[in-house]
Structure 1
């Protein structure tokens, strides 16, 4: 796995970097205007079942973790490659080969909401069979994060980003939320390709002891979370479902000041994964 770039704590919605050194001659020229139709044609050909990579950071991470990118466009190719020089030199050459420049209006017409970096791409979704095999493989060296009937797309994306950063085996959602929804992928900054992400029923969860977060559970500070654990988190509104609670082997509580109702879902996942990593586990 490649070393992380220097924007580890950078919001994926940050603006593009300034223009590169004018003496630099390695930025290929922008795609000629008469060729604009070619990437747009490819885009429409693949848009049906592909994963939308919305923004430079989503594309960067997808490429870094082996995604098969069908087409990538930008309204400012020089700025995108300058950003690669600054933050992702390990994938700069690959991005240079992928990115085609199109007019801003054309770029904006291809995405639900233009990203500040004016970069977008379509990638092949990893196979469900491959993800399920990865989730089921034992012995596991890192937990699986289970989001039980989550509701907020942005929170789900943030959790996937966290899980990838900690080297979790994968993220599983139950319920109706699609973990590959474009808003979730945007929130995850393309790190869906760095871990296994799938939607399953409670009955389909991979094997392993389930440690479910619940205010009435045992204080997490008294526990050591095993590498093969399933770390389960209830929905933002209603907590654990009856099905997941029945499947749980342990109920676990995070330390919290009295009269504070709850933590944000992503915050709860971050605290739990950090506890796992600090008591024996470690990122891959």
Structure 2
């Protein structure tokens, strides 16, 4: 982090010994780096060791005061990392500026590194699979949930990019707390595949193992035929008659809670406030 902080906080010396303009650094990296949109995304990325070459704000004292109030563990890092610019410039760089008036660019973890985490055995927590999801915000909410429960990772099938800026915004920067990748169904991580389906066995009578792969269908069409055919178990969530379905993130949260409920040691360590 120290090298990255030097870029944004005090400037990175050029070959001529002149510090680089953080706005120029941003423009050079935009499009190839992950946009961290808002204080909470930047906070979580810092906590989970993201590499952040540049971070900008229109009001550094206000951001540092917010950090001191909500996340004092990252205040010192933010003080070094943040560079201040005017709001007009910042809005030109980030048209949908977060109300906290802070944004940063981070290095996306390599696909090889994420796949290595997903394929490691034995696993101590499940992998969540979103089968051909369509809603970017829902995908982000799932990643945030999975990170909170300590899931090994979240993988998507289909065309949705799980690192799309809207997904990252919905995930509040917690992509860096778990392995997030897009794969094809034949490339899913090894492990018993539990697929959520209305016709499946009631989850309350099942024990979900730590190395499970938990698959959830798209919001509109459910599980694809290919994934359903690969499932070792079809699982249903309890639901009142005549209620059509749960929101995708709600279904993931209920399933991960069921997995974690018999393992109190998984989440007992006190974590910083979200």
TM-score normalised by the chain length of structure 2: 0.89
Greater CA deviation, 234-243 or 83-92? 83-92
Q: Distance in 2 between matches of 1:236 and 1:207?
A: 25
Structure 2 distance, partners of 1:158, 1:36, is 38
- Give the CA deviation at 1:251: 0.2
Question: Where does the alignment leave 5 or more consecutive residues of structure 1 unmatched?
Answer: 1-29
Map residues 118-137 of structure 1 onto 2, 5 A cutoff: 118-137=101-120
Residue 98 of structure 1 is matched in structure 2 by 81
| Correspondence 1:30-41 to 2 at 5 A | 38-41=21-24
Counterpart for residue 258 of structure 1: 241
- Of 152, 159, 164, the match for 1:169: 152
Alignment partner, residue 35 of structure 2: 52
Match of 1:267 among 250, 253, 256: 250
Whether 1:234 aligns to 2:183 is no
Equivalent residue of 2:142, what SS? helix
Determine whether 1:108 maps to 2:95: no
C-alpha distance after superposition, 1:42-83 (max 9, x if no partner): 001111210000000000000110000010000110110001
Which residue of structure 2 lines up, in the alignment, with residue 87 of structure 1? 70
The question of whether the paired residues in 2 share the 8 Å contact of 1:73 and 1:99 is answered with: yes
User: Structure 1 residue aligned with 2:169, among 181, 186, 190?
Assistant: 186
The answer to which of 42-51 and 254-263 deviates more is: 42-51
Asked if structure 2 preserves the Cα contact closer than 8 Å seen for 1:225 and 1:279, the reply is no
CA drift of 1:112 comes to 3.5
Following TM superposition, where does structure 1 have runs of at least 4 consecutive aligned residues deviating by more than 4 angstroms?
none
- With structure 1 as the length reference, what TM-score do the two structures score? 0.86
* 3-state SS, counterpart of residue 274 of structure 1: helix
Pairwise CA distance, 1:91: 1.1
| CA RMSD, Structure 1 to Structure 2 (Å) | 1.6
